[in-house]
Structure 1
Amino acid sequence: MPAFTPRLRALPLLMATGLALAAGATRAAELDIAKIDAVFAAFTQDTPGCALGVYREGQVLLERGYGLADLNHRVPITPETVFDIGSSSKQFTALAVLMLAKEGKLSLQDKAAKHLPELKDLGQRFTIDQMLHHTAGLRDYNELLLLAGRDMGDVTSSDDALRLLAAQQGLNFEPGTRFSYSNSGYFLAAMIVERVSGQSLDTFLQAHVFKPLGMTATHVRTDHTVVVPHRATAYRPNGPAGFAIDMSNWNQPGDGAVQTHVRDLARWDAELAQPKVIDPALLKAMQTPGTLADGSPIQYGLGLSMDRYRGLPRVQHGGAWGGYRAVVMRFPAQHLGMALTCNAAQSSPTTLAQRVADIALAGQFQDAPVAQAAPPAPPADFDPGVFVGLYEGEPGDILRIEKQASGPLTMRRAGGGAALRALGLRRVQSTSGITQLDLADDGKSLTLTRNDDPKPVLFKRLPEYRASAAERGALVGRYYSGEVGAEWTLSLKQDQLTLKGPGAEEAPVSALKADLLEGPGFSLQVTRDAKGQPVALVYDSARTRGLKFVKR
């Protein structure tokens, strides 16, 4: 199938000579347009795709569209195609909060309940600063809505989400002690902006950010019925070669919901590089990594993440919502920025953007491109079998390491997974390099370390376990959570425990040890009364912990 001819806009001089970047930044490199096109070869005239913008301090170096914005009408993607950028929106919410703090209308050290009294006692435990740094310990409201039986196609409002968060009786952890990404903090930040300013988040950002910067196509979407000119439809794979529409009717701002295109994002990149409208101190604060209460550093600032790619400092944030995918990425020292917006759920904008960076910044990295770097050879006597097994960290935090006969060693945790490669006899690393696992000499525990979290996690190996028929039967029943207002049913069918919640498919559940069950992406701890009878299930996942369902 021939690749779809991309739409191109580049600077006139560069069209003739190739693209030499700024002296002192990428002087010896040129943008090889053919190589960049090859990165996006999977997006054709029959598929959804992506828009790409490459910038030098906000100046557009290259604009491209690959694939179709609308499969029904075969509308091609262009640099002016509008996409939902998902969590990449968080940087704008953070900026709105900082602007109000500068005006003295709030403080980042304010407790959330000062501005949102609906949160009552729970909101007295964490600050706005902790919300924005993902250290508040908030359960993720997106997951809570799903647990309550809401489908992505249902219409939900800010009031729905706020009521659900106000009903929560606990946090995932003590505020300030850990970093754990949560959409709830940024949704609540948007609600605080509205309460303090008396304006919607969109109205505030239009007045203070989008219009002053000339971002004329950019807005915060909080009404799923509004017509958005030139917006791409989002899709997910459906069958071997087909696609299905993958859109959401949820209307909450703050953690996402910004609609924009790569041409507008060039103006935002220009402001980050050389502020002319926004107070530079606010932009610097956004790009300053936070710390935990004990002083441990984290990579996350305020709506932006700071890390390194192939040795070069990088500022970036990705996003995913429905079938939309996006990333905004900058290499400050090289004066290079990028935005990538996609309407294909199977796409990985961060990976694609990194491959573009491999081309645009060739010769400036400290190591080989990730796609080309040869994995380190494992020790000759490396035995992957010593890692295989089931491990538990905090109650309900389950790590599973597996090895298929013809496949790599893999890990699964809270619904996510990754292939592993050997770094030593008792040390392995995810192929992305994000996660490292160190196995104890006795094989009874391992330590998990992530490069975006300063706190290592100790996991203890669980022995094989098989619950008796009587144990499984005693768990059968209906369980209700007042925190999400939903009832779940635990059934026993052909010797298999299954769990069914409102609006969800029935899922198999397995016993890992006494009073610990595992389902797809979550675990359930069984609590018992003084007589030893099961009285509740406690739900734990990566972003929602300690949610109790009481047996009826």
Structure 2
Amino acid sequence: MRTLTIKLLYGLLVASILGLTQCKPSPRLSNQDVDSTVTQLDSLGQSILEGGGVVGFSIAIMKGTDTVYNRGFGFTDTTRTQPVTNSTRFKLASISKLIGSTLVMKLVEEGKLSLDQTLLELLPDYPNPEQAKKITLAHMISHTSGLPEYATEIDSTYVRTGVNPSKQDFYTFFKESDLIFEPGSNYSYCNSGFLLMGMIVERISKQRLQQEFDRVINKPAGMDLRLIEEAATLPDMSPYWEKKGDRFIPYPHWTWIKGDGGLTATSIELAHFPKQWSTGRFIDLASFQEMIKPRVLTDGIETGYGLGVRNGEFFGEKIIGHTGGHKSTYAIMVYFPERDTTFVVFINTDNTATSARKIFGQFAATYLGYTINPEAIPKQPLNKAVDYLGTYKGYDAKIEESIEIKMGEDGQLSYCMGDTCYPMTHMGDHKFWIEKWPYDLVTFEVNDMGQALALKEYYTGFYALLRKRLIQPN
């Protein structure tokens, strides 16, 4: 998504954290069981809507190529005259990064691109050639380029002036900005690499970005993913709203956004994507595996992000996909490879605690048959031989840059932001649960000497942030 809020309240629901009871994948359900599940999901959706946090939302669940569930809740307007239907189109936001990276892999297969090509080779007019010769295409689509976040400046200028930014506006920003770290040495979620990715695809393919989406995605699969510049005036495109107190304020479509967040679709249409993406419809299976593989930094530390893909786990099961949003998460696509099951949630409301992450968590837990029993948390004793203590720094501008891991007098570790500390419960395998954020997970990367090198934070299952230990052990 374009930015992350300071510690999302909703994160990972995993068996190793909350003492979960799992219903194993079952044989084909009877009609009565299906009806019962649909009734539960309908009731859950209505309850979420009645909570007042969103104007409207849409949910799709697919098992393989079968539609398991698809519903719209609420409205596209605050006068409540236009209901959300299964045909309502929403913004993918940063889920577009995953789709765009799929275009890149197709061009790599066709011999038109290489992941090792530099930004200078791909965009010879890039205004900062000394930086551009160090940054590769792989860096740009894995958030390891070190590029500064353009959105912090360009977005605010657009909000102030209402004038769409030009290519020259972006180039002026990059020319005047330093890298925040050496390419490949760290991870920072950043829209800039994907903005440039869109420019690169258009230059190399000699086609508009929408034409490449049509060629690689829409035509092979019979889909209709549309960039917002084309979809904004379509009758089925939902308006967007920002929640401010008890009011919902109209939020305009940013039609200039492309590679880093510009696509739109219905929930059920997007839910068709993961199955076809993972089985060779759009790109070869080898390219798919390359996309989902977490990138490894120059110091050997592994991130939880591939090429346009978030990795993670939910209730202990592997998931891949992406999230999207602005002030809060309003789009999420989650694929369970082992179950061959996809969840898509879109909402048309920003800046709300009733985020797409939260809705996904509730619907997935209900559909997959998990229950939460916090009293049964399987706590593990802390291994005193492992050194976790120290200060850890991340690079996301919207999250506290540095946190400290401290040891209390009771021998329990704490996650500290400034003077405020939260006890951490060890769940084994260097994983910790923090009661303040009951659905989130913190994992440590530890070397052979038992010394922590970095920590990774997971929100609602998906990898979100890497923080490296400032003083690395010898």
TM-score (normalised: structure 1) = 0.64
AA aligned to 2:138 is D
The structure-2 alpha-carbon separation of the partners of 1:178 and 1:26, relative to structure 1 and needing over 3 Å to count, comes to farther
The structure-2 alpha-carbon separation of the partners of 1:78 and 1:164, relative to structure 1 and needing over 3 Å to count, comes to farther
TM alignment of 1:216-295, pairs within 5 A:
216=224, 218-222=225-229, 226-239=232-245, 241-249=246-254, 251-295=256-300
TM alignment of 1:295-444, pairs within 5 A:
295-321=300-326, 325-345=330-350, 346=352, 347-362=354-369, 369=372, 397-399=401-403, 412=417, 420-423=422-425, 429-430=433-434, 431=437, 432-435=439-442
Q: Distance in 1 between matches of 2:471 and 2:178?
A: 24
State the partner residue of 1:139.
148
The structure-2 alpha-carbon separation of the partners of 1:190 and 1:394, relative to structure 1 and needing over 3 Å to count, comes to closer
Contact 1:236–1:244, Cα closer than 8 Å, also in 2: yes
Identity of aligned residues (%): 23
Contact 1:43–1:49, Cα closer than 8 Å, also in 2: yes
Structure 1 residue 28, shift from structure 2 partner? 7.6
Contact 1:234–1:324, Cα closer than 8 Å, also in 2: no
Q: Deviations over 1:39-85 (max 9, x none)?
A: 33131598512100000113211101111112246211112110111
State the partner residue of 2:111.
104
TM alignment of 1:111-126, pairs within 5 A:
111-117=118-124, 118-119=126-127, 120-126=129-135
Contact 1:300–1:306, Cα closer than 8 Å, also in 2: yes
Higher relative contact order by CA 8 Å / sep ≥ 6: 1 or 2? 2
State the partner residue of 2:468.
456
Q: Which has the higher strand share?
A: 1
Structure 1, 162-171 or 189-198: larger mean CA deviation: 162-171
Equivalenced residue count is 401
The structure-2 alpha-carbon separation of the partners of 1:101 and 1:35, relative to structure 1 and needing over 3 Å to count, comes to same
**2:60 equivalent among 53, 70, 85:** 53
SS at match of 1:433: strand
Q: Distance in 2 between matches of 1:59 and 1:153?
A: 46
The structure-2 alpha-carbon separation of the partners of 1:68 and 1:329, relative to structure 1 and needing over 3 Å to count, comes to same
AA aligned to 1:287 is I
State the partner residue of 1:174.
182
Question: Does the alignment pair 1:127 with 2:136?
Answer: yes
The structure-2 alpha-carbon separation of the partners of 1:373 and 1:419, relative to structure 1 and needing over 3 Å to count, comes to farther
Q: Distance in 1 between matches of 2:330 and 2:160?
A: 16
Q: Deviations over 1:375-408 (max 9, x none)?
A: 68999xxxxxxx9xxx89599945499xxxxxxx
Contact 2:61–2:268, Cα closer than 8 Å, also in 1: no
Q: Distance in 1 between matches of 2:155 and 2:404?
A: 25
AA aligned to 1:71 is T
Q: Which has the higher helix share?
A: 2
Q: Deviations over 1:206-241 (max 9, x none)?
A: 12211221113x2122469x51231111112233x3
Unpaired stretches in structure 1, ≥5 consecutive residues: 1-23, 380-386, 402-408, 438-445, 461-552
State the partner residue of 1:78.
85
Q: Deviations over 1:68-119 (max 9, x none)?
A: 1122462111121101111011111101111111111121100111121224
Q: Distance in 2 between matches of 1:448 and 1:97?
A: 30
State the partner residue of 2:197.
189
AA aligned to 1:231 is M
